[in-house]
Structure 1
């Protein structure tokens, strides 16, 4: 049960390009998923392209148009744009998949023993449609495809690859590495149970120590929340260049009120002084982006937030504001712990403004995780 994906192709909104890509895919695959291009606008040309490629006609479905109208009416829209009628056209011979979320229906087409699925682009629409289609598949009696996720935190993708490549190659184990700001995932797909799971786990645990998060680890903010709850600790945050991003990430987790006291977004020096008590002399001598300022911010957040733990962040996210001494990407992260212990860490992150802020936020959480374990 299940299928391995052989390839993913991104095609522009050009009929000839779509026809060529789908035609080639049909030569190499039994099932082809085509997502996007089923909307009402002039650049939504997928249905037209596939109809031309298969040399089939398009016909207007009154039943589908009625459902589209009803969806608009439920949203309080009485005057429906005429161009939405494009979404009611169905390719000859297609089985329609109802869209319970949006307006564009999906289609299942059979061609020379192959299956094509035309689906709308938004994941919220196509996911339930694929799940509904999957229920119609017959059990092939093959073992289920299982994907095992091994989490590594606090290291770049290249470092992880360098450490694991020889081991996996010698064992003949195929793997994929996925990188995100909060962790690196090593994915192993197996038809049926993966028999070497304990060998791989032992190797990763020995190789990465505290950076190894285990199999199918929860997201980093969830890990932080679990640790804080287990230890009965409260946290408060002081943010400057990240503008409240760390607080947002932590409070995305339901139940975060059990441990999250609040976040102080102190962008200006005035608020750093008035709210967190950063001395004017420190700001004048060392500047807002400094180890000293980060320390006072961590102390102020912990005190004002009546917390056991604190995080402070001050830096230069860019694209302007940097200098030779303090370049764009320079960030100081402070961690406040019980018993009046404070640690300040300096980083210089590459990338644009968004990337620097995101990396800073998750690096702060990773630092805190290591102090808590």
Structure 2
């Protein structure tokens, strides 16, 4: 029941406004990301299938946090009945399991792509990733439904003893056996281990490849006036080692691509390579930092201060909204596709016909599709993880 008098302080308003804003941003941002992935047929690549599933889980997390976990901060009581708490736990724990498994899968996917790029297409296929995603959703959803029907302890809910600034398991006297801790702690620890091992290796390999490309380009430029044949050989070798130039050269035109076009493609590929480093490092490291801080705070140092509770809640909400922010911020093509999608849905809602002429970005993509370079062989690890230039040949 609501208390008779519960004063609301400035800290309550600040925490509630911040957490709800992050939750709404997680919902809208990930819905926008899902829309772009579906409309532009990114799902022909395995990496984007993982991205779609992860974005769906983040939408569910945003719904749970904005409608269940954080409204008690301002209400000063939890209005959710017992059955509602149990249903929300099914959704939240399923989405959390998907987040854990898919963050691990994305990091391993990039690691395999960098280390075994020649065999990547044989090892990681769209069909296998689809089966993995479906299995994870069904397996953990079924397990949480079993926990629901047998009314196992203990349900996650807003904690009154911490002024509802965070959520967790309520205290019982005597203590009860917690099935969720037993079931999900091994998955969380395994995720931390995978991220700890895979992320440094992936980033080091990407950095080495980037430095090697720069060295090859500088070496080729210094000898361009002496031996044209040697320059062609070096450029051919650089193309095989380059991640994004392979994709771009396939789309840039005819068999005889001019040197100026190649140089322009080289500069663009280097910029895309830098975006890959930022995307992978920021997204993975933020999630890794949250998991590490969570375990240190709750299981190592046993911090129980108000500041720790607020920090955990904000960090948790940030992990669910950061993906679309990073991808749309660092990918011009995805921003253009999002604008195209918004315009298209606006025309549908207002019953207006779509403009007859395609946008400049779409026209460019259509022209680049029609003239693939026949001598280029592409590998999936060469594709910017979240850049539409890698997928426009499926448009």
**TM-score interval, smaller chain:** under 0.3
More helix by share: 2
Q: Give the number of the structure whose alpha-carbon radius of gyration is greater.
A: 1
Larger proportion of strand: 1
Output the TM-score relative to the length of structure 1. 0.26
Q: TM-score, normalised by structure 2?
A: 0.25
Compare relative contact order (CA 8 Å, sep 6+) and give the higher one, 1 or 2. Answer: 2
